[in-house]
Amino acid sequence: MAGDDTGGRLGEEFFTPGTASFTEFLVAHRPGLLPMRRPFPDGVRAAADRFPHGTTVLALAYRDGVLIAGDRRATMGNLIAQRDLEKVHPADDHTAVAFAGTVGLALDMVKLYQVELAHFEKVEGIPMTLNAKATRLADMIRQNLGQAMQGLAVVPLLAGYDPAAPAGRRGRIFGFDVAGGRYEKPDFHAEGSGSPYARGALKKLFRPGMPRREAALAALQALYDAADDDSATGGPDLSRRIFPRVSVITEDGFERLSETETEELSHEMVDQRRSRPDGPGATP
pLDDT in tens, 227-265: 999 999 999 999 999 999 999 999 999 999 999 999 999
Cis omega (within 30 of 0) for bond into 56: yes
**Termini Cα distance of the chain:** 58
Please state, for a pLDDT cut of 70, what percent of the chain lies above it: 82
Confidence at residue 256, expressed as pLDDT on a 0 to 100 scale: 97
For residue 33, name the pLDDT band (cuts at 50, 70, 90): low
Strand, coil or helix: 19:
coil
Confidence at residue 145, expressed as pLDDT on a 0 to 100 scale: 84
Average pLDDT of 6-19?
55
242 secondary structure, DSSP code:
B
Confidence at residue 148, expressed as pLDDT on a 0 to 100 scale: 83
Confidence at residue 1, expressed as pLDDT on a 0 to 100 scale: 46
CA atoms within 13 A on the CB side of 166: 1
* 280 CB neighbour count, 10 Å cutoff: 15
Confidence at residue 48, expressed as pLDDT on a 0 to 100 scale: 62
Confidence at residue 19, expressed as pLDDT on a 0 to 100 scale: 62
Q: Does pLDDT of 50 surpass 50?
A: yes
Confidence at residue 27, expressed as pLDDT on a 0 to 100 scale: 58
Strand, coil or helix: 146:
helix
Average pLDDT of 11-21?
57
Q: Does pLDDT of 51 surpass 50?
A: yes
Confidence at residue 10, expressed as pLDDT on a 0 to 100 scale: 52
Q: Does pLDDT of 37 surpass 80?
A: no
Confidence at residue 46, expressed as pLDDT on a 0 to 100 scale: 64
Confidence at residue 23, expressed as pLDDT on a 0 to 100 scale: 64
Single-letter amino acid code for the residue at 179? A
User: What is the tens place of the pLDDT at every residue in 144-184?
Assistant: 888 888 888 899 999 999 999 998 899 999 999 999 999 99
Contact 185, 175 (CB under 8 A): yes
Handedness of CA 39, 91, 244, 55 (dihedral sign): negative
Q: What angle do CA 76, 77, 79 make, to 5 degrees?
A: 65
Please state, for a pLDDT cut of 90, what percent of the chain lies above it: 68
Report how far residue 50's alpha carbon sits from residue 46's, in angstroms, rounded to the nearest whole number.
7
For residue 195, name the pLDDT band (cuts at 50, 70, 90): very high
Contact 83, 234 (CB under 8 A): yes
Confidence at residue 122, expressed as pLDDT on a 0 to 100 scale: 87
Ranges of H-type helices in 52-129: 103-124
Confidence at residue 86, expressed as pLDDT on a 0 to 100 scale: 96
For the chain, what is the mean pLDDT? 88
Confidence at residue 124, expressed as pLDDT on a 0 to 100 scale: 86
Confidence at residue 3, expressed as pLDDT on a 0 to 100 scale: 47
CA atoms within 13 A on the CB side of 175: 17
For residue 42, name the pLDDT band (cuts at 50, 70, 90): low
Please list the active-site residues.
55
Q: Does pLDDT of 13 surpass 80?
A: no
User: What is the tens place of the pLDDT at every residue in 82-137?
Assistant: 999 999 999 999 999 999 999 999 999 999 999 999 988 888 898 999 999 999 99
Report how far residue 244's alpha carbon sits from residue 265's, in angstroms, rounded to the nearest whole number.
10
